[in-house]
Amino acid sequence: MLNLKGKTAAITGASTGIGKTIALKMAENGASIAIIYIGDESLAIDVKKQAEGYGVRAEIYECDIVDFTAVKNICEKIVADFGSVDILVNNAGIIKDNLLLRMSEADFEDVIDVNLKGAFNCIRHFSRSIMRSPSGRIINISSVSGMMGNPGQANYSAAKAGMIGLTKTVAKEFAGKNVCCNAIAPGFIDTAMTASLPQAIKEQAENSIPFKRMGTVDDVANAALFLASDLSSYITGEVIKVDGGLYI
C-alpha cells in the first residue's frame, strides 16, 4: 500500500472506467479526491460514496474541461474546498473513430478539444496549487495509439500524441518546482468502451498482444498510483506503456 495521506487528487473523467478506478485506488491509499465529471451525476455520486468508504474526503464537480473559464472556476472551487491540490490526473477523453477520408471536421476538433485542450486547461489552472505542494504530480492518460498510430483514429492518435509532447514540456518547465509530470499510455484495456467492440475485433486485438489478453483498469490505476506516490520522485517526462507488450 502506498501512502497518499494528506494529499488531494483532482481527477478528470473520474465517474467511470479508468478514471473511477484511479480515484478509488488513490482514496484507498489515503488521498482526498476531487471527482471531476460531466454527464450522469449519479455515477459521480456513487464514486464519491465508494471513496468515502476508505475514510477520506471526496467531492464531485461537474465541468466541461474544454471550457477554459469553466476549468478555472472549478479549480478555484476545488482549491477552496480542499485547501490545495497535490495531484492532477488528466484522464477525461472521448473517441469518434472513422477513417481519415470519412472523418468530419467536427469529429476531429471535438476529440482534440476534449483529449488535448482539456488537459492543457486543467494543467494551466491547477498548476499554481500543484507547484506549492512539496511533491506535486501531474499524470496524463495518453495511449499507445498516440505512439504508434492506429487506423480510424487520426483524431484520437493526434490528441494522445500531443498529450505526450505536452507531458514532456510540462516536465521541463515545472521541474524547478519539484513537480513530476508523466504520462501513462494504455493499450487495449477492458472497459465499457472496448466491451462494445465486435467479438472478432476483440479477438484480433488480443492476438496482437504478447500477453494474449486485454489489460484491466486496475493495471492502469496501479501505474497512476505509483506515479502519484513518493516512490516516483525522480521520474519525470516519461511515458509508461501499460499495454501487455502491444507496442515494443
The DSSP letter of residue 215 is B
The neighbour count for residue 143, using CB atoms within 10 Å, is: 29
- Residue 162: name the closest of 131, 180, 183 by CA: 183
Sequence-separated (6 or more) residues with CB below 8 Å from residue 14: 20, 22, 23, 33, 35, 36, 37, 44, 47, 89, 91
- Residue 97: name the closest of 114, 78, 111 by CA: 111
Q: Which helix (H) or strand (E) holds 11?
A: strand 8-12
**What is the β-pairing status of strands 8-12 and 32-37?**
parallel
In the residue annotation, 54 being an active-site residue is answered as no
> Can you tell me whether residue 179 is helix, strand or coil?
coil
The neighbour count for residue 221, using CB atoms within 10 Å, is: 24
Sequence-separated (6 or more) residues with CB below 8 Å from residue 92: 12, 13, 19, 36, 38, 65, 114, 115, 118
- Active-site hit among 61, 156, 234, 247: 156
Mutual orientation of helices 105-112 and 154-174 as an angle, nearest 10°? 30
Residue given cell 496549487 in the structure block: 129
> Can you tell me whether residue 240 is helix, strand or coil?
strand
Residues serving a catalytic function are 156
